[in-house]
């Protein structure tokens, strides 16, 4: 029907306009060099790409992952999104905020029992119109498996299904744009790694003389490595200019201890850059420790990507 096609074209156009405004802001994201006495002692520089600044709720890597997915959903004519996450999921928040702006209906499958009052992350998602559905950990594992997506379509109706963390090949292409506007030259780009899509995207966009380093925030990074290699194969990337460090997960995803919490608190005060213990805290803790262990060559110019995820600290 012509009016349906015209409506779809208009929806895609409006969303592209909204994306253009975000991208104009992102292109102005500043790079902040850290001033630490020990950096001079090891003859390295450490700067921070402040991806966290351009939006209070979707700042960082989450909207990068969503950008091409939401465009694809619009292109295919979907009016409803379905995705997955834990109780403190940055992805659920970003999907809810971005999905509302793009005019989608949204369903979020949440791992675990419903607990009132809602934590800040889930409350933000609900306030932006996401319908939350709580399931057991076992059922959650089944639901996020691609082979069960037809069951979800039957249960929730025709919907565009975003994987956990929003991580797929479209997300990788979006994350490749994180470093496209960087004017300064860096030797190594560091990022916190959960699903691996951000690291895969950054690796895709690196220059020949650059390397990427991922600090894994969860136990057992073997699956993450496999996923990165699969995405690279799909994009026909054959280089090996990246490395995943698995020594700084502090017991697993969202796990921490007193040492990490103290580091996060001190870092945030000293540098006036807010970080948290789930992703960015582990990233900077790992970078600091690796510098002190002479992991980086002398003279190295290091850039750490701040991937956001701060909404639950508000």
- Give the lowest-confidence range in 21-25, 68-72, 73-77, 98-102: 21-25
Each residue of 88-108: pLDDT tens digit?
888 999 999 999 999 999 999
How far apart CA 85 and CA 92 sit, in angstroms, is 6
Q: Is 2 exposed, middle or buried (0-12, 13-18, 19+ CB in 10 A)?
A: exposed
Diameter of the chain measured on Cα atoms: 68
pLDDT of 72 reads 96
How far apart CA 153 and CA 12 sit, in angstroms, is 23
Residues 224-236: what's their mean pLDDT? 93
For the chain, give the mean pLDDT: 89
CB half-sphere exposure, 259, CA atoms < 13 A: 9
Whether 7 has a pLDDT exceeding 70, the answer reads no
Each residue of 231-249: pLDDT tens digit?
999 998 887 899 999 999 9
């Amino acid at each position: 029907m012509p009016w349906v096609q015209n409506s779809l074209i208009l929806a895609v156009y409006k969303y592209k306009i909204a994306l253009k405004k975000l991208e104009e802001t992102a292109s102005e994201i500043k790079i902040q060099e850290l001033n630490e006495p020990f950096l001079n002692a090891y003859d390295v520089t450490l700067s921070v790409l402040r991806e966290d600044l351009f939006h209070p709720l979707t700042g960082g890597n989450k909207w990068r992952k969503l950008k091409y997915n939401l465009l694809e959903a619009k292109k295919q004519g979907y009016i409803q999104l379905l995705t997955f996450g834990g109780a403190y999921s940055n992805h659920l928040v970003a999907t809810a905020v971005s999905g509302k702006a793009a005019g989608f209906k949204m369903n979020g499958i949440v791992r675990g029992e419903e607990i009132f009052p809602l934590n800040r992350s889930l409350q933000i998602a609900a306030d932006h119109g996401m319908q939350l559905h709580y399931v057991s950990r076992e059922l959650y594992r089944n639901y996020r498996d691609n082979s069960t997506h037809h069951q979800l379509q039957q249960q929730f109706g025709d919907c565009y299904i975003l994987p956990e963390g929003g991580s797929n090949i479209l997300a990788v292409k979006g994350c490749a744009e994180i470093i496209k506007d960087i004017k300064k030259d860096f030797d190594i780009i560091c990022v916190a790694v959960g699903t691996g899509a951000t690291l895969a995207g950054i690796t895709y966009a690196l220059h020949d003389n650059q390397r990427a380093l991922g600090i894994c925030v969860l136990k057992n990074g073997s699956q993450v490595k496999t996923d990165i290699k699969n995405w690279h194969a799909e994009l026909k990337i054959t280089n090996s200019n990246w490395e995943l460090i698995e020594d700084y997960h502090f017991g697993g995803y969202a796990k921490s201890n007193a040492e990490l919490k103290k580091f996060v608190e001190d870092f945030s005060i000293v540098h006036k850059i807010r970080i948290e213990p789930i992703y960015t805290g582990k990233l900077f803790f790992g970078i600091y420790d690796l510098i002190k262990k002479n992991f980086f060559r002398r003279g190295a110019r290091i850039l750490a990507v701040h991937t956001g995820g701060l909404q639950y600290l508000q």
